[in-house]
Every structure is written in structure tokens, then in C-alpha cells.
């Protein structure tokens, strides 16, 4: 897959979750076994949307980074490490019982995006 296709898809996925966390946290989080008990918990969900949306926007803005150049390698490496961090944090949430139910999909989701980022990075070496 080209960098353009990969970075566009990556950006769309992250922006989708940012919008869901901002506009529908009360619908999304209970599927992960989390309760939003007050306005502060809702705000923290919306606050996370900043970072997910930012990653989506950065992915989208760098979609024209050509194969094999230094910029492409750096953005792909950054996305790979970001997704690996997502694996670690969400796996911790699952193993400690914070995430239940659909929560197990998160480490799988981040692992898939990390693997795809790694493969795309390999195509740019």
C-alpha cells in the first residue's frame, strides 16, 4: 500500500474515534466496562479526543510524504511507537480489570495498527 493510502486510512480511523470520544462517550465507554459517573469523567474522554484527533490530523497532513524519504520514515516510526504505546496501556487496562467486555479489542486494535505501521515503515527503507 502506498504511504498516501496508509496515512489516509490511519488518519480516518483516529479521527473517527476522536469524534466518538467527544460526542458519544456515554455510549462508547460502557462497552469497555467503564462508567462515566460525572461531568469530569466525560470531560476526560473529550480531552482524549484532542490527542486522537491530533494523530489523525497529522496522519492526514503527511499523507503526501513520498516513499523512501526521511520525512515518511519519521512519521511512520512515530505512528508505530504511538500505537505500541497504545498496546501497552490498553493491555494493562485489560489485565488489571479496568477494561472488560469490548475492552479487549483495544490492545488488538493498537497491535494491528502498530504492525501495519511497521510494515509500511519497512516499505520505506
Output the pLDDT for position 117. 97
Range of the domain at 114: 3-123
Report the chain's mean pLDDT, rounded to a whole number: 95
Band (pLDDT 50/70/90 cuts) for residue 27 is very high
Q: How confident is the model at residue 54 (pLDDT cuts 50, 70, 90)?
A: very high
Please report the pLDDT score of residue 109 as a whole number: 96
Q: pLDDT band at residue 68, thresholds of 50, 70 and 90?
A: confident
pLDDT at 67: 86
Q: What is the pLDDT of residue 66?
A: 86
- Per-residue pLDDT, 94: 96
Sort residue 67 into left (φ over 0), alpha (ψ -120 to 50) or beta. Answer: beta
**Alpha helix positions (H), the chain:** 3-23, 25-28, 39-61, 70-95, 105-123
Q: How many domains does the chain have?
A: 1
Give the SS3 label for residue 94.
helix
Instruction: Return d(Cα 40, Cα 116) in angstroms, integer.
Output: 34
Rounded Cα distance between 72 and 67, Å, is 7
Confidence tier at 32 by pLDDT (50, 70, 90) = very high
pLDDT in tens, 88-100: 999 999 999 999 9
Residues 6+ apart with CB under 8 A from 82: 55
Average pLDDT of the segment spanning 13-36: 96
| pLDDT computed for residue 121 by the predictor | 96
Amino acid at each position: 500500500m502506498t504511504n498516501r493510502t496508509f496515512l489516509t486510512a490511519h488518519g480516518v480511523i483516529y479521527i473517527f474515534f476522536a469524534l466518538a470520544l467527544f460526542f458519544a462517550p456515554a455510549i462508547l465507554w460502557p462497552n469497555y466496562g467503564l462508567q462515566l459517573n460525572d461531568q469530569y469523567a466525560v470531560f476526560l474522554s473529550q480531552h482524549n479526543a484532542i490527542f486522537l484527533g491530533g494523530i489523525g490530523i497529522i496522519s492526514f497532513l503527511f499523507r503526501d510524504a513520498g516513499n523512501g524519504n526521511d520525512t515518511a520514515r519519521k512519521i511512520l516510526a512515530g505512528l508505530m511507537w504511538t500505537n505500541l504505546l497504545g498496546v501497552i496501556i490498553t493491555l494493562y487496562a485489560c489485565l488489571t480489570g479496568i477494561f472488560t467486555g469490548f475492552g479487549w479489542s483495544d490492545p488488538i486494535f493498537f497491535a494491528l495498527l502498530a504492525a501495519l505501521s511497521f510494515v509500511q515503515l519497512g516499505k520505506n527503507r
